């Protein structure tokens, strides 16, 4: 059987598993019919038969046998005298099937056909990749780190397709090594030099949204809806949720028993603080909730100018603004209002105080949580209580309490 070895080309097809068999056959057929048209001027009387398993093909030419001298169309008809040379039993009116030796096309034409086929396969694989990831925009995927560069990371998915995680889409605390498996959301599909570039993100709000969907079954089932997410990657995020079932507390469901659901997400986001709040159409209440963990004294709202003036006690102002102004910035993004913070009762003399969270690098988080549980959320609120009182009200040991008090006192002595 005359054939041309196309094993390599078919192997390329098999690598792109999403290219179906009919499409593969059609591409190969098109390539060789082009070859036939160049040689014979038409491909009407030729059949291209592809054997994908063996990686070869054959071309069969079929013509009607006519009396000698009655050939009107050499492509569709063959004289009787020529037909009987091939098979003596042929008769006028029968159809002659003749296999074409592919080598008759010439080495240059065969090489060109193989190059065209490889190019068409490459284009198909690109189209498959674009469609696959265009349909998955907003979804979380797992990928393996293949190469780490200064401005981006090259990843490979389970099929070996290349994905890009730019530095701008990485959480500032992210650090990855080759071979490590990471999670990210598909952000967009770009075309660069006619090649698809799949861009991933770990800073997008949709990444946090999908993580919540995975961890909170009520969100996946549609009983709880995420109304809005705003993030300062690696620092803080605010998630506004609403329940469609009055029996379900949306905030409690998202946080989980003792924070079981939210802790895994916080770890994934490199200890990003996540404030989950109840969504409401009441603007004043939404602004109040969005400024958590601070407690607001009063508020003036200008709905026309989308502006709010918020008044807080002096010890709450720093909480409302947050580290590097992140808390108030996110509150503004969440509510759509510009927010100005003012100290309430400015005439009163207030002692300088520090939120306990500021000591998280010196005091273990579980100790801070235990102190907060009994209402001690600032340094001075701890210092005003005696060690005996703290030991009685908390589950902390005396040595731990003494150490905490020493750290807090030293901070005020510095000031």
Confidence grade of residue 29 (pLDDT, cut at 50, 70, 90): confident
Return the number of other C-beta atoms located less than 10 Å from residue 411's C-beta. Answer: 14
* Cβ atoms of residues 236 and 330 within 8 Å: yes
Task: Report how far residue 403's alpha carbon sits from residue 415's, in angstroms, rounded to the nearest whole number.
Answer: 19
Domain pair 7-131 / 136-201, same fold: no
What is the average pLDDT across 74-97? Answer: 81
Q: What is the pTM of this model?
A: 0.62
Confidence grade of residue 4 (pLDDT, cut at 50, 70, 90): very low
Q: Any residues with CB less than 8 A from the CB of 386 and at least 6 apart, and which?
A: none
Determine the pLDDT at residue 349: 42
Task: Report how far residue 37's alpha carbon sits from residue 117's, in angstroms, rounded to the nearest whole number.
Answer: 16
Class for the domain spanning 7-131: alpha beta
Confidence grade of residue 345 (pLDDT, cut at 50, 70, 90): low
What is the average pLDDT across 371-387? Answer: 82
* pLDDT above 60 (res 57): yes
| pLDDT single digits (tens) 264-294 | 999 999 999 999 999 999 999 999 999 988 8
3-state secondary structure of 119: helix
**Within its chain, how far is the Cα of 131 from the centroid?**
15
Determine the pLDDT at residue 7: 42
The torsion of the CA quartet 354, 359, 360, 366, rounded to 10 degrees, works out to -80
**What is the pLDDT of the chain when averaged over all its residues?**
83
Q: Which of 58-62, 120-124, 152-156 has the lowest mean pLDDT?
A: 120-124
What is the average pLDDT across 403-410? Answer: 88
Helix%, strand%, coil% for the chain, nearest 5: 40, 25, 30
Q: Which CATH fold would you assign to the domain 136-201?
A: OB fold (Dihydrolipoamide Acetyltransferase, E2P) (2.40.50)
Pick 165 or 192 by higher pLDDT: 165
State the DSSP string of 240-292: EEEESSTTS-HHHHHH-GGGHHHHHHHHHTTS-EEEEEE--S-HHHHHHHHTT
Determine the pLDDT at residue 381: 82
Confidence grade of residue 19 (pLDDT, cut at 50, 70, 90): low
In the chain, domain spans: 7-131, 136-201, 280-350, 356-414
* pLDDT above 70 (res 415): no
What is the average pLDDT across 110-134? Answer: 79
* pLDDT above 90 (res 314): no
* Angle, alpha carbons 21-24-29 (nearest 5°): 125
| Matching CATH number, 280-350, of 3.30.300.20, 3.40.50.2300, 3.40.50.1100, 3.40.228.10 | 3.30.300.20
């Amino acid at each position: 059987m005359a054939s041309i070895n196309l094993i390599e080309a078919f192997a390329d097809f098999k690598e792109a598993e999403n290219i179906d068999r009919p499409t593969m056959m059609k591409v190969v057929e098109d390539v060789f019919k082009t070859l036939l048209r160049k040689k014979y001027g038409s491909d009407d009387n030729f059949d291209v038969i592809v054997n994908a398993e063996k990686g070869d093909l054959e071309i069969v030419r079929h013509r009607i046998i006519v009396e000698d001298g009655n050939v009107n169309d050499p492509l569709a008809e063959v004289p009787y005298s020529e037909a009987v040379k091939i098979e003596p039993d042929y008769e006028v009116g029968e159809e002659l099937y003749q296999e074409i030796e592919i080598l008759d096309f010439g080495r240059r034409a065969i090489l060109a056909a193989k190059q065209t086929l490889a190019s068409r396969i490459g284009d198909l694989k690109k189209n498959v990749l674009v469609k696959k990831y265009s349909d998955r925009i907003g979804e979380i995927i797992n990928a393996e780190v293949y190469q780490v560069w200064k401005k981006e990371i090259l990843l490979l998915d389970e099929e070996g397709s290349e994905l890009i995680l730019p530095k701008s889409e990485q959480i500032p605390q992210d650090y990855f090594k080759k071979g490590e498996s990471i999670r990210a959301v598909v952000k967009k599909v770009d075309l660069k030099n006619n090649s698809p570039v799949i861009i991933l993100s770990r800073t997008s709000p949709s990444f946090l949204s999908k993580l919540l969907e995975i961890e909170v079954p009520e969100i996946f089932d549609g009983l709880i809806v995420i109304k809005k997410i705003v993030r300062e990657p690696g620092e803080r995020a605010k998630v506004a949720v609403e329940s469609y079932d009055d029996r379900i507390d949306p905030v409690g469901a998202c946080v989980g028993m003792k924070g079981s659901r939210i802790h895994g997400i916080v770890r994934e986001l490199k200890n990003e603080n996540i404030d989950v709040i109840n969504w409401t159409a009441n603007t004043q209440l939404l602004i109040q909730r969005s400024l958590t963990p601070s407690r607001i004294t009063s508020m003036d709202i200008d709905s026309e100018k989308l502006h709010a003036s918020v008044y807080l006690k002096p010890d709450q102002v720093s909480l409302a603004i947050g580290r590097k102004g992140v808390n108030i910035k996110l509150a503004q993004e969440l509510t759509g209002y510009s927010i100005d913070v003012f100290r309430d009762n400015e005439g009163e003399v207030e002692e300088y105080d520090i939120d306990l969270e500021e000591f998280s690098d010196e005091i273990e988080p579980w100790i801070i949580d235990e102190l907060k549980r009994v209402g001690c959320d600032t340094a001075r609120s701890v210092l005003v209580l005696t060690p005996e009182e703290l030991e009685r009200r908390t589950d902390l040991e005396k040595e731990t309490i003494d150490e905490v008090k020493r750290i807090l006192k030293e901070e005020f002595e510095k000031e």
